[in-house]
Chain A
Amino acid sequence: MMQEQIFDVTVIGAGPAGLAAALAADHAGAKTLLIEREARLGGILKQCIHDGFGLVRYKEKLSGPEYAERFIEQLPQSGVVTWTLSFVSQIKRDGTDSILIVITREGMKQVRTRSLILATGCRERTSRQIGVHGRHCAGVFTAGTAQYYTNILGKLPTKRCVILGSGDIGLIMARRLTLEGAEVVGVYEAKPTPSGLTRNVSQCLWDFEIPLHTSKTVTRLFGDARLAAVEIASVDACMCPIAGTEEIIPCDALILSVGLIPENELAESIGVPIDAKTKGAVVDEHNETLLRGVFSCGNALHVNDLVDYVSESGEIAGKAAASRSNCARGLVPVECDNSLLYIVPQRICRNAEKQDRLFFFRSARDMDNATLTITKGGNTLYAKKFAHLRPPEMERLPIRLTPEQLVGNEPLRFHLEDSEHA
């Protein structure tokens, strides 16, 4: 029988979300454990050497490792117990406690924790998930893999490449590979608009005259052991390739930047309900899931485009996890129609002390002069105008909602209206 170690709060994952959560829980007086499977703390930020991190939080343009260090350097003075090279292999539930089996360098350990925070980040979509046809040869990899090779291993993974998808990591890597001397033939995006931030299209592609082709996709791969060329075709509004538009582009790599998905294997293993829209857990405004005592934050909860909000979401979870009770929450559902891609949190606690709630949402499409309304039953509780909304740019919305406004079980409904339809 393994000896059981007992903590108030246990955080899985030491990326920016987990680091912020652990420090916030410790600050609130909880005995806190932080578990990371890799040797180094910082999560994906270790390989994000470009700047632009911390613009909101520190008003500075930091690189990923510099941003992570601002949190890592606080750990020695805190009471947080940190286990690296440690992997959570199994979670069991005992009432609202969680029991973790952790594989560490010293062997297997068992942890009992009152609150559990899942900060496991996200992973990238791969070619299997987008269905590119052709032989499976070397030279097809994700932008994150290219980033790891270039920035951590110091090995240039391509001499001449095509980038499929216009996600931010792909745009960042187009510039990075160009600076390292590789040729980026172009970025190809099946949708009519780029999926990355406008500022990244500008500073990563335009600055280096790298072409961005929208409404085009890769239809076939050529090559034996290593990729030799790809076939590109235009697509119609339904994303189907248009016959006769094919062109062949010689290249030694196809780099995919086709989206991120929250990593929730552990959450699903204990039955945490997942939102089909975000692919992350359903949470209340304290980032507590529908399972009492289990919290989710950062990119495991929903894919953020700014690390500053990832840290904030970790702090919300850490603070709430440290002081949690099992009192009834009085959950009110929060819903959105198809004018929004998603809304987080998906529940609001009617019984919460604090009336200021923080919502995050993305619009379903580009909108100008849009009006956001929140209704409950027949009543409009809130309305706000937005000059521009773009799906790649997440909106952060603090709103005050009183207990009186939250009476009754009807959901809060979020809706966006374009100026054209108004």
Chain B
Amino acid sequence: MHDTVKSFQIREIVCIVCPNGCRIRCAQTPDGLQCSGQKCKRGVDYAAAELTHPMRSLTTSVKTAFPDSPVVSVRTDGEIEKAKLIDVAKALGQVIVEHRVKIGDIIAKDICGTGVNIICTSDRLMHP
């Protein structure tokens, strides 16, 4: 994935912001970050973040106390550091939902000190 052209380090990054999945070639030059291959400006922001502090949203499930739906799906309501994905998923392995929550309800606040909340993404507990 790494090659060097004109003495600048080139890195190819796949933008995951939209389904186009543009392959963006990035180079840190004395004039700043140079990008090519992105179909829109959001790709440049994504590449800049990716090179310094990659962020991701997390989708997973947590256990419930209800036999009709033993798990319910959840996600982060914002992005967390990519390096924390596994830790947050592990922490959520300890959570058990004991109320019939609906889409958007908060399951866990400020998970692992990331500042983001975990919210429910399914209404299956509302329609047993």
Seen from chain A, the residues whose Cβ lies within 8 Å of a Cβ on chain B are 40, 46, 49-52, 55-56, 61-63, 65-66, 69, 72, 150-154, 176, 178-181, 197-199, 201-203, 206-208, 305-306, 393
Contact = CB atoms under 8 A, between A and B. Distances in A.
Interface stretch (B3-11, B27-35, B109-117, B120-128): B120-128
Please tell me the size bucket of the interface on B: 20 to 34
B68 to A, nearest CB: 10
B25 interface: no
In the complex, which of the residues A49, A197, A203 has the most CB atoms of chain B within 10 Å of its own CB atom?
A: A49
B71 A63 contact: no
A283 to B, nearest CB: 24
Closest 10 CB pairs between A and B?
A154-B71, A49-B73, A199-B21, A65-B122, A202-B14, A154-B70, A198-B21, A179-B89, A63-B121, A199-B16
Contacts of A72: 123
- SS of A interface (majority): helix
Interface in B56-94: 56-61, 63, 70-71, 73, 75, 82, 85-86, 89-90, 93
A51 B75 contact: yes
A203 B59 CA distance: 12
Interface string B14-27: 11101111010000
B103 A181 contact: no
A50 B20 CA distance: 18
A179 B60 contact: yes
Contacts of A180: 60, 89, 93
Contact of A51 (B59, B85, B90): B59
Contacts of A55: 18-19
Contact of B60 (A46, A49, A305): A49
Contact of B122 (A49, A154, A202): A49
A207 B85 contact: yes
29 contacts: A40-B124, A49-B73, A49-B121, A49-B122, A50-B59, A52-B19, A56-B19, A61-B57, A62-B121, A65-B73, A65-B123, A66-B103, A66-B121, A66-B122, A69-B103, A151-B61, A151-B73, A153-B70, A154-B61, A179-B86, A180-B93, A198-B21, A199-B16, A202-B16, A203-B16, A206-B14, A207-B56, A207-B82, A393-B19
Nearest to A198: B21
A65 B121 contact: yes
Contacts of B63: 154
Contacts of A207: 56, 82, 85
A306 B61 contact: no
Contacts of A61: 57
Contacts of B14: 198-199, 201-202, 206
A199 B123 contact: no
B19 to A, nearest CB: 6
A306 B86 contact: no
A49 B71 CA distance: 11
A46 B124 contact: yes
Nearest to A155: B70
B53 to A, nearest CB: 14
Contacts of B19: 52, 55-56, 197, 199, 305-306, 393
Nearest to B104: A66
B78 to A, nearest CB: 11
A145 to B, nearest CB: 16
Contacts of B57: 51, 61
Contact of A63 (B16, B20, B21, B75): B75
Contacts of B16: 199, 202-203
A40 B70 CA distance: 15
B15 A199 contact: yes
A51 B123 CA distance: 16
B108 to A, nearest CB: 15
Nearest to A204: B16
A417 to B, nearest CB: 22
Contacts of A305: 19
A63 B73 contact: yes
Nearest to A70: B103
Given A153-B71, A197-B19, 5 more contacts: A49-B121, A62-B121, A65-B122, A66-B122, A203-B16
A153 B73 CA distance: 11
A51 to B, nearest CB: 5
A393 B23 CA distance: 14
Nearest to B15: A199
A206 B58 CA distance: 15
In the complex, which of the residues A51, A66, A181 has the most CB atoms of chain B within 10 Å of its own CB atom?
A: A66
Contacts of A152: 71
Contacts of A208: 85
A17 B63 CA distance: 30
B70 A63 contact: no
